[in-house]
Amino acid sequence: MKFNWKKIIAGAVTVAGAVALLAGSSYLKPATANAASDSSSVSAIKKRGTLRVAVFGDLPPYGWVNKDGKRVGYDVKLARRMAKDLGVKPKFIQVNANNRVDTLNSNKADIVLANFTVTPERKKVVDFAKPYMKVSVGVVSPKKKAITKVSQLKGKKVIVTKGTTAENYFTSKQPGVNLLKFDSKTQQFNALKNNRAAALADDNSYLYAWVKNNPKYTVGIKSIGPKQYISPAVKKGNKSLLNWSNKEITKLNEARLNYVAVEKDQAHNLIDCVLGLFKSTNSSSYRFSSVLKFSSQ
């Protein structure tokens, strides 16, 4: 039996072309932004009865687990309020800084409320709602060997958490600094206590909270790099939840709802705290004009 190889090859090319066309269609593509966000749309969340929120588990005053095993912090407070206003219950998904985006993209969470700083790079991969906080990078070090100027860090080790604005800043703007990188906040602060580096860099908001409970350390550099905003983040293209979140933040800001409790000394560097409750009286030190005691109860 003879085979007409020209016809066989031509047929194979035709089939391959058809497969290629299918591959170029939505059939074999990763879920599009709109399709992928269906499970996180407002209607889907209400139908499911839960709002899946990505939060930190070890980062006071944003989100952590207290001694009683309860999730607390003002990112957690905001999450509970948003869930309440949606008429559903919150379901918390614990994340680290370097897997916040992956948690959204893998549809494990509907929204991220985990001290997520808005940056141009992150805007390419997630959609940010209106901001509820303003921060910048700070540097903490032992009081006995306080770091007060960036020039003191040249050639020295500085601890950062992977995927943070602190890591990005020092990588791009301070190449003379040697970075010691960790996956979690707990790991990075333990490394500082174990004298593995000269200093630690992170968002100044919770560095102030940390030194409050660790008086042997000081935030010697209170602000470095650009001032940036903290916002809720949703999956790219999830317009339903994005629009709802924007309206919610606006509503809560206007209402000045008094449900977030923040100890003055723990958060005195924040300008716009959750829901806009606190007004800055000193733009250089970010002190609040009115605050409540932060309780983990």
pLDDT band at 60, cuts 50/70/90? confident
pLDDT 10s digits, 107-159: 999 999 999 999 999 999 999 999 988 889 999 999 999 999 999 999 999 99
Q: Mapping DSSP to helix (H, G, I), strand (E, B) and coil, where does residue 91 land?
A: strand
Q: Which of 79-93, 140-154, 163-177, 254-268 is the least confident region?
A: 254-268
Banded model confidence at residue 277, pLDDT cuts 50, 70, 90: very low
Given a cut of 90, whether residue 248 has pLDDT beyond it is yes
* pTM of model > 0.75: no
Peptide linkage before 131 cis (omega within 30 of 0): no
pLDDT above 70: percentage of residues in the chain:
73
What's the pLDDT score for residue 256? 53
pLDDT confidence of 6, banded at 50, 70, 90? very low
- Alpha-carbon gap, residue 57 to 114, rounded angstroms: 9
Q: How confident is the model at residue 34 (pLDDT cuts 50, 70, 90)?
A: low
Q: Which of 90-104, 224-238, 258-272 has the lowest mean pLDDT?
A: 258-272
CA gap 250, 130 in Å, rounded: 8
**What's the rounded Cα separation, in Å, for the pair 221 and 18?**
60
Instruction: Tell me the mean pLDDT in the region 170-177.
Output: 95
Query: How many angstroms separate the CA atoms of 36 and 278, rounded?
Result: 37
Kindly state the average pLDDT of the residues 269-285: 33
